[in-house]
Structure 1
Amino acid sequence: MRTTPLLVAAPLAVALALLPVMLVASGAQQVGLWSPWTAAPALATGVALAAVLLPRLDLPRLPWPSALLLLALCAGLGTWAALTHGEHLVVRRDPGAYATYALALARYGGVPLDPGLDVFGLPASDPWVRVGAAANYAVPGTGADGSATLLVSPQFLVGVPALLSGAWLVGGWSGLLVAPAVVAALALAAFAGLAAQLLGARWALLATALLGVSQPVVLVARQTFSEPFSLLYLLTAATLLVLAAASRGQRARLPALVAGLLLGAHLLVRIDAVRELVLLVPLVALLAGRRHPAAGPLAVGTLLTGVPAALATRWWDSPYVASVASSLGPLVAAGAVVTVLSAAALLLGRRVARRWDTTGVPRAAVRAAALLPAVAAATVALVGVGLASRPLWLVDSREPYLPGMEQFVGALQQQQGLPVDGLRTYAEDSVVWLVWWLGPVTVLLALVASVVLAAVGTRAVLSRQPLPRWLLPVVVGLAVTVLSLYRPAITPDHPWADRRYVTVTYPYLVLAATATLAWLVGTGRRGTRPAAAVLAAAMLLPTALATLPLATARTETGQVAAVGAVCAALEDAGPRPAVLAVGFRARVEWAPVVRARCGVPFVGIEEPSAPAGTTLGQVLGDAAATARAGGYAPVVLVGDLTSAQTVADATGVTLPPVVSLRTTEPERLLEERPLETREMTVDAWLAPLP
């Protein structure tokens, strides 16, 4: 039967083609040069890179019927997500932040952005001024007139916004909002290729269906999240790592090099990539200790893209990196320690091996080595039981990993009738979160597989036999799963918190659980096949039933039209409109999208906590007069009725409503699985200031 590498080649080609785009964007956006003129050559370079590398890689091949069936499944799941995509633009959570960052790149060519304090004659030190917004940081900088001012730096890394900005330039709103679904379909194809490589095509079908219908994966595919892009890079890299481990001689070098390129570039997609890169260090040392030809290329490829990614992200002064320092700092420190220990272990191991080659292996070492697989298996089992049992003996409270998280969690607890403790992380329930969406059978089978793989992997490492081809991705998957379950490091409201496990934990658990099923069938014993069929149904049905209540739920619908209405109202207000936003909701929720889409100066005004010696009316009047003198049309915008009345009382200006949207958003539950959406309002009132 004719075979094809298409299942693996398609997502890998896209990942390679987009890699130079992100690298170029990371530098160009810092000097305002990100545009189609810089993106197009970068994309052409990526396409050429893929065209050169793919024919030289001995990619896994599947029979055409199996490959087409798996591709059809992935395309169907991606189409489902595209048809039910959200419109999160008025920033409340991460999707709005990514979307507005992308729009800002498309309009301005780079960040940070100048909000336009000089337009209104407002100094950065004015106690009424608020420049920061949701997922946007106020940073010191230089204004258009050369004076010191405050600029706006969007949250997150540049990779995903740069790619989304390209989708916007090509397809407008549809391109921007549907791009994650397209990438998610490609990522699922990469997962299917990995599963087929490890388990076979028929088991890949079950595993891909299970992962693709799980609600957290559906959620990130419907919104402008970074997780679909992260999945694409991690899963294509994992496939190449398996290929490199299974190859011998020079054939192992190229897949290892390309895997390293993808893993290093992942640092432009998510800050979590530091975790995977730290875990990669001892694996490279292990390969080097075995004198495996993949060791050097894997390290070189990772450094070739990882170092520029780290430097271009400007970690040393990034407000985003500073905001997650409590999580990132220990990871970086752990990386330094792991690197030193891995190098020392490599040198010591080689010295001991040379000595034992001449003197023989001591009996004590042989006895210890014989016990280590059982110790590794017992350790994984105990860790799994410990993590799962935490709700019985632990209430996890610790310093919040993000500013403002304590207040946010406390407000949600108060709304839901829970004891108010803003320091609660709910991390002790992290295994329960997995069971919500994957079902208890999948989680239990994955634990069984993890215990067995720990023993087999340890035995393989200690022996002189070739390393199992699954060893590298399994070590990373298991370690990341344990670390993420121990400390999710995310706001603990659902379904938002569940996306923490989309990029590594869900794929690992699904593969591990499916591997257990495959083993049961492979034993060939009487009764195993019916039992495996029952277990397969017990895996798939709970996941599908958990997703079913939200299967057709579109959220934040109407926001595209709402943003259009605000931009149209600003154009009607006069030539060169400039916005003064009064009140928390206006300056926090509307600021990023109005700056990016409408392309106008936008400054938030909010009453200071301490007396400032001026009134709101005076501040607005003086700012409006300065703007008019500079040729601008000053406009006041509010996002709630209370602020509209406050402005009317202060200025005598009646604000007509331009947006009154009633739509839905995902729930924000702390102790329950979300089964429906909740209502949200998006309002805007604006009028010219006399």
Structure 2
Amino acid sequence: MTTGPLDRARTPSAGRVLAVLSVVPALAVSGWLLAGLPLLLLGAFRPLAAVPLGLVTVALLCRYGLRRVPEIGGTTARQVASVVAVALGSGIFNGLLHGEQLIVRRDPGTYAQYALWLAGHGSLPVPRREWAFGGADPGLRFDSVGFYDFGGAVVPQFMPGAPMLHAVGAWAGDIAGMLLVPPVLGAAAVLVVAGAAARLIGPRWAWLAALLFAVCLPILYTSRTTFSEIPSLILIFGGLVLLHDVTRPHDVTRPHDATHPHDAGAGSRAVTGSPPGPGAGSGPVDPGGADLGGALGGADLGKAAGTRGLAGLAGLVIGLAVMVRIDGLRDLLPVLAYAGLLIARGRAGEREAGRAGVPLLGGLVAGAGLGLAAAYLLSRPYLRYLSGSLVPLLVICGAVVLLIAVAAALAPRLAGPVRRAARIRWLPGAAFGLVVLAAAAFAARPWLQTVTRRPTTPEDRTTSLFIVAVQKANGLPTEAYRLYYENSAHWVAWYIGIPAALLAVLAAAVLARRLVRGTAAGWALPLAVVVWTTVGTLYRPAITPDHPWAARRLVPVIIPGLVLLAVWGLHWLRDRARRSGYGPAARRRITAGGAVLLLAFPVITSAGTAFTPVERGERVAVEALCAALPARASVLVAERVTADRFTQVVRGTCDVPTARIVLAPRSDVPAPADVTRLAARVRAAGRVPVLLAAKDTQLSAYGMPVQVMNLRVRQDERSLVDAPNATWSLSADVWMAVPGAGT
């Protein structure tokens, strides 16, 4: 049976399929957040309202955005199939080995309990339910790890974006369904990174970038449990991909760029002229556009309405990363500056560039504004806790906006001096050298600096005690004030491998030189975002430095950004070989050998923990705990560690009123008089008092202890100076007693 012209017209090209697949995750996440936040603020985040509204919003964003996304030229069906296979493999692998971190010990437990509360109740804050304990009492506390007691209610610690996504799984399949959402998001992130690689490097390299990204341990780690980093990555890189499609530059700065045949040589000079055509090298060039002119390319940005709309959508998607992680404010600063540059260039007479600037800025402000509003309305104590770093960041954002206004006003006068400055001959070489020097400084930092911090807050003191405990477990000298941040560049080398790290540095240096020369339009903003976030994060990771825990800081921008740069670097080496006269067979060997070398190091690092699910068994244990509680129970947690870990678990997952009893001075248990008094108040309120603790001896004075949890599972390793290569054991015991009426 033959295929007619009409059938062929209706069949999307491979380039179109890859372009759409790599953008849909960001549009879907954005649509769900846009629909979910108003419902959550109204206390109506429930399936009957959220699912229809969310689907409609996602459909509208996709209908608008996908119609304006150009296909990725030169893509074959095999390349698309390879990318999809990597994404599916990632999702299935992480789904089979997903974690079950429901007990609140660190952030995944907090996110899981946050999501389960939203799925079951659809509103915030979490009520104290003091009536279930006979009313307010100074012996009761309602806070716990990850949950603040604020304004007469319990407030979750983090931003609502990730829990709103995880709640979908809970609606679909209760706890088991929620635990499968992270692997699905991880697979979606693979598609986004592959789409970025196809646009910035070439579709034939998309599978390698996708696979290298997928096998890195931090990606495996955050794709298996309820973290916020993967959704943030989807929004940031999905927005960058959309913005790339707005500009659609001819010069995506593939390594075969004919305008710079001597990038590796000393003293190379820019050769002006038109961007290379499709025949300029080994990889195809995306159709339909040109550079943004000067340091950002040339002229045609497409139809004005489509350009403005897609730029605004890209800004909105990137800005919404703030609703997922408050750190997203730092990551979007280069995008904010880029919007200002476009606006200034429009004011200077380059109308095509100016078309995208204002919508991009508006989208960014709208998305980030929604995130900040969500933080203020739903997690104000979290903002107070972060105020030391958040306030300076907001000041920087305000300063950037002010600079944008000044630059826009003065753009016609500044255009000439800026163009003359860009022609300074030594600037490209300086840009190259600066990148290399910065990378070398970070690599040498452990021999030049030891980062310490004197505790000034209770949280700092807790962190110091934790670090001492981990040092002892690792056989290291006891140094309570150490933060190990000087090793941050080495963390990156652990996870992506030394070859990938070196290629990424080389690629960043070459691209920086090309940007200064006035090309590399496709990489201008991605490189700025990656370099800005990498430098800031590696200088001050701001996280407890045990691994794999600290690896999550590398996930939203650094790992995907360096993966893209490393693959671009391999392509650059291959093209250098072509220009040096090597034949196709030699270039294939370079590509194959380079791919194996890039993949081998992260695979070896990941192999130590990749096949061991952590905290598997917590779901069954928590469900058994909930089932053991009597009807009309009011739970009083009478031991410190149990209170930290299980107060919100019982309150949220079991949906039982729960409070912790204030501890006696210098003790892990409360005073017996407080226990008996509060139990009597619960009985007087017509409910059944239930005591929980970690040991039977802590409850035997009040009733017959019964063990309701005896959990023995594997947990993450806590390594300070080496890549993690194993898991540790974890035990959790919970005993229950029901005080008698005479107690």
TM over 0.5: yes
| Residue number in structure 2 paired with 1:33 | 44
- Inter-partner Cα distance in structure 2 for 1:536 and 1:93: 36
Structural mapping, 1:107-506, within 5 Å: 107-121=120-134, 123=136, 126=138, 128-141=139-152, 151-246=153-248, 247=289, 248-249=301-302, 250=304, 251-291=306-346, 292=353, 293-314=355-376, 318-353=380-415, 365=421, 369-398=424-453, 403=460, 404-460=462-518, 468-506=521-559
- Inter-partner Cα distance in structure 2 for 1:223 and 1:387: 30
Instruction: Say if 2:148 and 2:157, in contact at 8 Å, map to a contact too.
Output: yes
| Residue number in structure 2 paired with 1:645 | 697
| Residue number in structure 1 paired with 2:649 | 593
Instruction: Say if 1:122 and 1:129, in contact at 8 Å, map to a contact too.
Output: no
Change in 2 beyond 3 A, CA 1:183/1:282: same
| Residue number in structure 2 paired with 1:604 | 660
- Inter-partner Cα distance in structure 2 for 1:417 and 1:329: 39
| Residue number in structure 2 paired with 1:49 | 60
Aligned letter for 2:388?
S
1:553 partnered with 2:612: yes
- Inter-partner Cα distance in structure 2 for 1:290 and 1:177: 47
Change in 2 beyond 3 A, CA 1:631/1:394: same
CA shift for structure 1 position 556: 0.6
| Residue number in structure 2 paired with 1:147 | none
3-state secondary structure, aligned to 1:388: helix
Instruction: Say if 1:327 and 1:489, in contact at 8 Å, map to a contact too.
Output: no
| Residue number in structure 2 paired with 1:536 | 595
- Inter-partner Cα distance in structure 2 for 1:533 and 1:491: 38
3-state secondary structure, aligned to 1:662: strand
- Inter-partner Cα distance in structure 2 for 1:494 and 1:301: 36
- Inter-partner Cα distance in structure 1 for 2:66 and 2:663: 63
- Inter-partner Cα distance in structure 2 for 1:152 and 1:601: 12
Instruction: Say if 1:7 and 1:190, in contact at 8 Å, map to a contact too.
Output: no
Which of these residues, 626, 634, 655, is aligned with residue 681 of structure 2? 626
CA shift for structure 1 position 196: 0.9
- Inter-partner Cα distance in structure 2 for 1:529 and 1:65: 18
CA shift for structure 1 position 617: 2.5
Instruction: Say if 1:195 and 1:203, in contact at 8 Å, map to a contact too.
Output: yes
Instruction: Say if 1:25 and 1:34, in contact at 8 Å, map to a contact too.
Output: yes
- Inter-partner Cα distance in structure 1 for 2:735 and 2:670: 21
CA shift for structure 1 position 646: 2.5
TM normalised by structure 2 equals 0.84
Instruction: Say if 1:8 and 1:190, in contact at 8 Å, map to a contact too.
Output: no
3-state secondary structure, aligned to 1:510: helix
Instruction: Say if 1:16 and 1:46, in contact at 8 Å, map to a contact too.
Output: no
Deviations 1:55-83 (A, max 9, x none): 42133333222112211111111110001
- Inter-partner Cα distance in structure 1 for 2:77 and 2:435: 39
Instruction: Say if 2:308 and 2:359, in contact at 8 Å, map to a contact too.
Output: yes
Aligned letter for 2:634?
A
Moved more, 372-381 or 440-449: 372-381
| Residue number in structure 2 paired with 1:685 | 735
Stretches of structure 1 lacking an aligned partner (at least 5 in a row): 142-150
3-state secondary structure, aligned to 2:482: coil
- Inter-partner Cα distance in structure 2 for 1:548 and 1:591: 35
Moved more, 302-311 or 513-522: 302-311
3-state secondary structure, aligned to 2:660: strand
TM normalised by structure 1 equals 0.90
- Inter-partner Cα distance in structure 2 for 1:24 and 1:580: 37
Structural mapping, 1:560-579, within 5 Å: 560-570=619-629, 573=630, 575-579=631-635
CA shift for structure 1 position 271: 1.0
- Inter-partner Cα distance in structure 2 for 1:108 and 1:654: 33
Instruction: Say if 2:125 and 2:378, in contact at 8 Å, map to a contact too.
Output: no
Taking only the aligned residue pairs, the percentage that are identical comes to: 33
- Inter-partner Cα distance in structure 2 for 1:24 and 1:48: 12
Instruction: Say if 1:662 and 1:681, in contact at 8 Å, map to a contact too.
Output: yes
| Residue number in structure 1 paired with 2:113 | 100
Aligned residues: 657
Aligned letter for 1:296?
V
1:10 partnered with 2:21: yes
Aligned letter for 1:558?
G
Which of these residues, 659, 667, 676, is aligned with residue 709 of structure 2? 659
Stretches of structure 2 lacking an aligned partner (at least 5 in a row): 1-7, 249-288, 290-300, 347-352
Instruction: Say if 2:19 and 2:69, in contact at 8 Å, map to a contact too.
Output: no
- Inter-partner Cα distance in structure 1 for 2:117 and 2:392: 32
- Inter-partner Cα distance in structure 1 for 2:17 and 2:599: 26
Aligned letter for 2:330?
R
